[in-house]
Amino acid sequence: MKKIYSKFDKQRIPKLPQAIFKGRIETIISEAEAEKAVEYLLHQDIIGFDTETKPIFKAGHQNEVALLQVSSPDICFLFRLNHIGMPKCVIRLLSDSSNTKVGLSWHDDIRMLRRRADFEPGNFIELQQMVCEYGIQDLSLQKLYANIFGQKISKSQRLSNWEADILTEQQKLYAATDAWACVMLYQELLNMKSNGYDLEIVPEPEPVVPKEEDPDSPKKEKKRKEKAKNVAKNPKDGKKRRVSSHRRNYKKKSKENKEIIPNE
């Protein structure tokens, strides 16, 4: 029986074997190619979706979606929307409800795609909602895949230039793996529902309570040394403070020793 965790320890992820899409990757850069790809995808029972956008590091600005990747278990199509826009066939694919479309945080992707062209989304499955039924609290694709398959998904290309004239092989593989992983996760979750699974509840870490500072702690000692050092550098200031202190004490004593003469 498969064992999963309510929360997967992210410190374990770098040591896991890497998950890589080993199917065929097709880059779509024309409407004619898009038509053929959509025709194939509409005949698949389950397809995985994801998008990529060129990152920008200025507040208040956001680029449009540059890449829409759609994958079956064997073939992934990379629709370069920054080249072809949103053809009618792609809108038809997104609006169709004849097959199951799986994505992660898909509401954000749909919102961004609708900036290019308005459409009514078809039959989409949100993995983040689905895993909650299994007691899983992880929400990122990387942690979910590590939790369920014991493999890591590389995120090294996430901030690369998705509007480049030609995508690198690393970018293509990264994009295809993300869309394909959604299909794999959905199918495995259905298998777990049928065959059962063992969920280990990971306790929440205890809150860290700040300790009271020891008066003899190194920080206190450092402050005392800095104060003494400053006085040594500015002896006049220290003398003024001492004189001022003596004057206050003298006035206080004079006030206390003053003889009170009653009114005659």
pLDDT tens sequence across 96-128:
999 999 999 999 999 999 999 999 999 999 999
Contacts of 188 (CB under 8 A, 6+ apart): 148, 149
* Percent of the chain whose predicted confidence (pLDDT) is above 70: 80
Cβ atoms 6, 136 nearer than 8 A: yes
Is the confidence at residue 251, as pLDDT, over 80? no
**In this model, does residue 196 exceed pLDDT 60?**
yes
pTM: 0.77
Average pLDDT over residues 176-191: 98
Min mean pLDDT across 27-36, 57-66, 90-99, 154-163 is at: 57-66
pLDDT tens track for 60-75: 788 999 999 999 999 9
Range with lowest mean pLDDT among 15-19, 154-158, 168-172: 154-158
Size (the chain), residues:
264
Angle between helices 235-257 and 218-233 (to 10 degrees): 90
Average pLDDT across the chain, whole number = 87
Strand partners, 152: 18
Per-residue pLDDT averaged across 36-63, rounded?
92
Domains and CATH numbers, the chain: 2-200 (3.30.420.10), 218-251 (no CATH)
Mean pLDDT, residues 146-162 taken together: 95
Return d(Cα 227, Cα 220) in angstroms, integer: 11
Taking a C-beta distance cutoff of 8 angstroms, is the pair 116, 85 a contact?
yes
Give the pLDDT confidence score for residue 264 in this predicted structure.
39
- Residue range 76-98, pLDDT digits in tens: 999 999 999 999 999 999 999 99
The pLDDT of residue 258: 47
pLDDT of residue 226: 74
Within 10 A of 27 (CB to CB), how many other CB atoms are there? 18
Helix (H/G/I), strand (E/B), else coil: 3: strand
Contacts of 181 (CB under 8 A, 6+ apart): 19, 21, 48, 141, 145, 153
